[in-house]
Amino acid sequence: MSDTTSFPPLKNDLILRAARGEKTERAPVWVMRQAGRYLPEFRAERVENDFFKICRTPELATKVTLQPIDRYDGLLDASIIFSDILVIPQAMGMTVEMVPGKGPHFPTPLVVPADMATQLKEKVDVHKELHYVYDAITMTRHALGGRVPLIGFVGAPWTLMAYMIEGGGSKTLSKAKEWIFKHPKESHELLGRITDVCVDFLIGQVHAGAQMLQVFESWGGELGPHDFEHFSLPYLAQIAKRVKAELGDKAVPMTVFAKGSWYALDKLSVIGYETVSLDWTHTPESAKAITQGRVTLQGNMDPNVLYGGDEAIVAAATRMVRGFGSTRRYIANLGHGILPTVPVEAMELFLKTVHRVGLEVAAEEKAAEAANDIKIIG
């Protein structure tokens, strides 16, 4: 592994301060999937290299991670390592392919609980199986030169379990749901095994140089409130608790993103994460009322607005930043990953609008505080 003891000093810690609840000069901004198919430079890289080859080659993963940072110089306040949530099922012994035009595909998914004994490794050496991600993180930290912090991530246990059983994407998740209803004990066993790997993997990412972590429960909203509380929430809580306990004073801010799980926002804000990322089904007012300042909020513009033209992008981004505020407990982002065919100019306008409006709102908030101070003194 590359040297992790002499990283360049960080020049922009805005997102880390926002995550910790400290006051910021403006709302920091980054975008989920900001390194990806919407970028022509990424598409050019994919002509030469298979998706998972990029993930498994630290030099290529570093190059791709830096593409949006270089293109949108000074507009992004964080980078996120180029990888995929499905490297965990691969580490556990399953084959995952990325099929062009289709997405992830498991040639041999888990069909019945007995398949766990034949398809999954009894013990996973996370460092051995996923060292290439650690190497990419360390390499990227050096390559960033301290411009912005680097985010590491994992998929959450329920989402990964669903992929492993469905064999890929699904509109209904009927196979995975059959497991939790018909085989609840074995489902909890599988979720526990995935959780163990997630914990080890996140800890290793921090040791490799990740300065922030995000847990993606992409299919959380496919569970109703009762099932979410039984098959998702306990494992999300475990991850935060165990990662922080193991890292001690080296712990970094952690974010949880449970897409579609609007009903769980209150509980997600008390299970150990500094930041809760929101999809576009939340209003700023309701999200702030529910969380009551316990966590930093991240999000949440609908990614499809980026297809709507300049006027729509400016209006939605402005409404978002003004709704959440700019200087306390807010990180601007989309409500899910940026879509593959979004024009690069649309992304740039979104980022510039967030910067401009964020500074405007920060100035207004500062003026309001000063006026309030004068009123108190008077």
Indicate if 71 belongs to the active site: no
Instruction: Output phi, psi for 298, to 5 deg.
Output: -130, 140
The Cα–Cα gap between 200 and 221 comes to: 26
Beta pairing, strands 103-105 & 296-301: unpaired
Cα–Cα distance measured from residue 200 to residue 24, given in angstroms and rounded to the nearest whole number: 32
Q: Given the residues 38, 72, 134, 163, select the one marked as catalytic.
A: 163
For every residue of 144-209, DSSP letters joined together read: HTTSS-EEEEEE-HHHHHHHHHHSB--SS-HHHHHHHHH-HHHHHHHHHHHHHHHHHHHHHHHHHT
Q: Which of 13, 26, 33, 134 is the catalytic position?
A: 33
Residue 328: active-site member:
no
Q: Which residues of 296-316 are buried (b: 16+ CB within 10 A; e: fewer)?
A: bbbbbbbbebbeeeeeebbeb
Q: Give catalytic status of residue 307 as yes or no.
A: no
Q: How far is CA 349 from CA 5, 28, 307, 354, in A?
A: 37, 15, 12, 9
- The one catalytic residue in 17, 20, 37, 356 is 37
Instruction: Identify the active-site residue in 17, 20, 46, 328.
Output: 46
Active site residue 37: yes
Quick check: is 33 catalytic? yes
**Two tokens at 282?**
């939340």
Which tokens go with 378?
Answer: 């008077």
Helix, strand, coil distribution of the chain in percent, nearest 5: 55, 10, 35
Q: Which of 77, 84, 135, 279 is catalytic?
A: 84
Amino acid at 34: Q
Residues with catalytic roles: 33, 37, 46, 84, 163
